[in-house]
Amino acid sequence: MEPDKNKLKPVTPQRDDDLINKSNRKPLNSANQMVYVNLSESLKKNTSDKKKIFTREEVKKHNTYEDAWVIYENKVYNITHYFKYHPGGEDVLLEYAGQDITMKVAEQHSYVNVKLILENSYLGDVED
């Protein structure tokens, strides 16, 4: 019997890369979400103090990598700068750009504080 066969091997940056390459997965960037929260402070300075009201049709037009908005709990957020920080990758976010993500987030990420992550990307409210 091989004594090391049943032992857990420590995760190191090199081993982590090897595991990712073997499983064809991208590395998860969960810590990057908090980096984004800190970096997005500067975005808050670029928004107007006056609350804006957007129609759902207007939000739908913002559905590209260069200009992506979403609706979450009837609030409109610009997620353009968040793409590279999303742990699930950019393509997942792009799929929902221009849409209401409230139900999808509740299904997939009920444990995530979306309001905290996106608070500095707030643009206004959506018209009912």
Which backbone phi and psi does 124 adopt, to 5 degrees?
165, -165
Q: Would the pTM of this model clear 0.85, i.e. be above it?
A: no
Domain ranges of the chain: 50-128
**CB-CB contact of 74 with 125 (8 Å):** yes
pLDDT per position as a tens digit, 71-122: 999 999 999 988 888 888 889 889 999 999 999 999 988 888 888 888 888 9
Q: Which CATH number fits the domain 50-128, given the four candidates 3.10.20.30, 1.50.10.20, 3.60.15.10, 3.10.120.10?
A: 3.10.120.10
Tokens of 23: 């499983």
Closest CA to 57 of 121, 126, 104, 122: 126
Determine the longest span between alpha carbons in the chain, in angstroms.
Answer: 70
Question: Identity (one letter) of the amino acid at 128?
Answer: D
